[in-house]
Amino acid sequence: MPRAALPRHAAARRSRLVPLLCAAALAGGGLATLAGGADAADVNLLANPGLESGALTPWSCTDGAGAVVGSPAHGGTHALRGTPSNSSTAQCSQTVAVKPNTTYALSAWVQGQYIYLGATGNGVVDPAVWTPGGSSWQQLATSFTTGSATTSVTVYLHGWYGLSAYLADDVVLGGPGGSTPSPTPTATQSPTPTPSPTPTATPTGSPTQTPPPAGALPVAPYVDLGAWPTPVLKDMAAAGNLKSFTLAFVTSVGCKASWFNAYDPKSGWGKDQIDAIRAGGGDVKLSFGGASGTELAQACTTVDSLFNEYDAVVKAYGLKYVDFDIEGAAVVDTAANDRRSAALAKLQQAHPGLKVSLTLPVLPEGLTADGVAVVRSARDAGVAVDMVNVMAMDYGRPSTDYGDDAVQAGQSTHDQLKALYPARTDAQLWAMTAVTPMLGENDDHGVFNQGDAQQLVTFAKQHHLGMLGFWEMTRDAAACTGPLYKCTNVTQSPYEFSKIFAGYTG
């Protein structure tokens, strides 16, 4: 994120030049909100929508986690029951044919804890809605508009990792049908989406303890895996009271993915460390790009070749979260950014529910004009952008209060996203906003100290931001004075910042 991962033994990080913010008039579509009902225009395109056949077909559920039950049912005599586990949200889905450039209404009656309803497809912004649930039936309803190339969509329902079974019934996709749909993805093609593993088994209903609707890794600081010796993630997690991390950085050697030009991620390098984090109830984001090296979208000249590299890495680690740290020359490379957007839309089709975050330069006034263009490119390509993560650091201006600046950068970015995604609620926009400062002394010699960290955590709790991160765990662990690539240059104890950030739970 903030800084790019250095090759091993590198002595310093380069300063990042931040262009001035240009105001832009923005427009675009976005997520629908939880509503009381849906206008099921035309016909219901879903087969077996109330499970009255007594069988799941044509619904497909991951990990064999779905079943048909006779009671309770909302309508008729049957309903769908999905049973999540610590590693599965019990996603059940069905793919149907639709027409391009057409608006569809989607609804379902649900019962249980933390239930999601949404749809994915080429050129479709996932209109996901959710509810904390309860003991009675509730209706989830939303709508979406297909893109010019959309011929099919996959409607899905799922619960939450480690929580109790959910029920769904009378699912409706209203609108005109299209030609023969693509096959419904199988369990191996459709990894579970959205939330992170093993939340609290019995949520209390407190906003700081229940899962957020978008990013489900509320704190995921960056770890420079190019540091020497290689950081041990489970030890960092234990020492810093953390569960999850953003791993930096996958770059390119030609049009081939590479961990900081040293190891092949497709071989699963470091997967044992990721497995250990998951076993402890956390998860990882894998970050492509950074300030050093070349991001794959600049190295790969076709959408297909770029998709193939991203896809192979996602498969190698079984990823639910991917991050794209786009800065320096990459953020102004329009062709590469559009190529990345097209590849990511294809990647999310291949991996329904895959969460994509964009990490971008920011000023207190908000994203730079080039950063806004990156988000717009992804939106227009049909990428379901989970979060926009801003690098609240290195502003390159006279000394200011870095705590105030980080808070203002988050607020400004939220306001810009409202223009990009006008259909989203304020809560959805905050859940789409992530902030990542650089700990201690920044490259421009501004300082983000422990008080600033607490200020940012308080702001995040107030608005329920999608995620907080920071650059970078090994600097926090070293708690030293010296080169900025390994020291914060503020008086601190090891993992002091980590423990402050760990106070944010969503």
Annotated catalytic residues are 327
Q: Are 234 and 280 in contact (CB under 8 A)?
A: yes
Give the number of other CB atoms < 10 A from CB of residue 27.
9
Give the number of other CB atoms < 10 A from CB of residue 178.
18
SS3 337: helix
Which residues have a Cβ under 8 Å from the Cβ of 223 and sit 6 or more positions away? 231, 233, 236, 245, 246, 247, 248, 472, 473, 474
Question: At 467, phi and psi to the nearest 5?
Answer: -165, 150
Q: What are the b/e assignments for 372-407, b being 16+ CB within 10 Å?
A: bbbbbbbbbbbbbbbbbbbbbbbbbeeeebbbebbb
- Under DSSP, the state recorded for 324 is E
Q: Are 469 and 388 in contact (CB under 8 A)?
A: no
The per-residue DSSP string of 256-284 comes to SEEETTTB-GGGTTTHHHHHHHHHTT--E
Distance CA 438, CA 248 (A): 14
**How far does Cα 249 stand from its chain's mean position?**
17
SS3 238: helix
Among 413, 432, 418, CA closest to 367: 413
